[in-house]
Amino acid sequence: MQVTTMAEMAARGETPEVLFWVGCSGSFDQRAQKITKAFVTILNKVGVKYAILGKEEMCTGDPARRAGNEFLFQMMAYQNIQVLNGYEIKKIVTACPHCFNIFKNEYPALGGNYEVIHHATFLQQLIDEGRIVVPEGGAYKGKKITYHDSCYLGRANDIYEAPRKVLEALDAALIEMKRCRSNGLCCGAGGAQMFKEEENGTTRINIERADEALATGAQVIASACPFCNTMLTDGVKNREKENYVEVLDIAELVASYL
């Protein structure tokens, strides 16, 4: 794929319109890599001048901070801010709500001030500006899609409408789960839960949420977070519905039209 790194761009004396922060999940998780590629496909097609940090990118420190390890978080934040400020980055887009939240709300206190935009809002803007044109009668026209709110996009940062507007632009039949928007139920991954076994309980959070999504009868469960995607994919598999219901990121849905 045609992807330029910041180092290459800086060497040419150029500056990007926006830095695409890929995040650990988007970089290493096989499923999430597909989301990254879909988003890059869109950026390339639309002609956005962007760059990635490539090997210079590091974990933002979100799971460490939420688990209670402030030292590790501060170490990661320090190094990332050094790199970002070194390249004089002004604007960051990311497909991960956790990275988005930490750049937007927590890096400024540490000297990292950037305009941060989540890819849901970014895609909505591209559609609004007419830079992405969804052809009439696409694959998802009239298809039942339900959208799962990521906690770090929704409650944490009040972004509920942007991802829904993207789905509406696809002419899909959007149906809501019982718990949606500010009532949305967590997928179970946040607060560093992604990296440990769940505590003892009667069921798993991702199964509870997958059941709710499946109950809508939607053919597609859309999300805008790589961790939610993993959790819901596992939940759907647990119910042996993976042949009937797809769990897709909004970027993958948009990219399928291009």
- Quote the DSSP letter at residue 185: P
Q: Which of 38, 42, 51, 59 binds other proteins (CB under 8 A)?
A: 59
Minimum CB distance to other proteins, residue 182 (Å): 5
Q: Which of 16, 18, 36, 50 binds other proteins (CB under 8 A)?
A: 36
* Interaction between residue 221 and other proteins (CB under 8 A): no
- Tell me how far apart the alpha carbons of residues 192 and 175 are, in angstroms, rounded to a whole number: 30
Query: 27 or 219, CB closer to other proteins?
Result: 27
* Interaction between residue 46 and other proteins (CB under 8 A): no
Minimum CB distance to other proteins, residue 113 (Å): 14
- Tell me how far apart the alpha carbons of residues 121 and 26 are, in angstroms, rounded to a whole number: 18
* Interaction between residue 63 and other proteins (CB under 8 A): yes
* Interaction between residue 132 and other proteins (CB under 8 A): no
Binding to other proteins by CB under 8 A, coded x per residue (else -) over 72-111, reads x-xxx-x----------------------x--xxx--xx-
Q: Which of 12, 130, 136, 203 binds other proteins (CB under 8 A)?
A: 203
Which are the contacts of 237, defined by CB distance < 8 A and separation ≥ 6?
Answer: none
- Tell me how far apart the alpha carbons of residues 191 and 238 are, in angstroms, rounded to a whole number: 23
- Beta-bridge mates of residue 116: 92
Q: Which of 12, 129, 201, 240 binds other proteins (CB under 8 A)?
A: 201
* Interaction between residue 33 and other proteins (CB under 8 A): yes
Which are the contacts of 128, defined by CB distance < 8 A and separation ≥ 6?
Answer: none
Size of the residue set binding other proteins (CB under 8 A): 70
Which are the contacts of 109, defined by CB distance < 8 A and separation ≥ 6?
Answer: none
* Interaction between residue 11 and other proteins (CB under 8 A): no
Residue among 163, 203, 212 nearest 183 (CA): 212
- Tell me how far apart the alpha carbons of residues 210 and 186 are, in angstroms, rounded to a whole number: 11
Q: Is 201 exposed, middle or buried (0-12, 13-18, 19+ CB in 10 A)?
A: exposed
On whether the CB atoms of residues 33 and 26 are closer than 8 A, the answer is: yes
Query: 123 or 231, CB closer to other proteins?
Result: 231
Q: Is 86 exposed, middle or buried (0-12, 13-18, 19+ CB in 10 A)?
A: exposed
* Interaction between residue 192 and other proteins (CB under 8 A): yes
Q: Which of 10, 48, 83, 156 binds other proteins (CB under 8 A)?
A: 156
The CB-side HSE value for 204 (13 A sphere, CA atoms) comes to 18
User: Which stretches of the chain bind other proteins, using CB under 8 A?
Assistant: 1, 3, 5, 22, 24, 26-29, 33, 36-37, 40, 52, 54-55, 57-59, 61, 63-72, 74-76, 78, 101, 104-106, 109-110, 151-152, 155-158, 182-183, 185-186, 188-205, 208-209
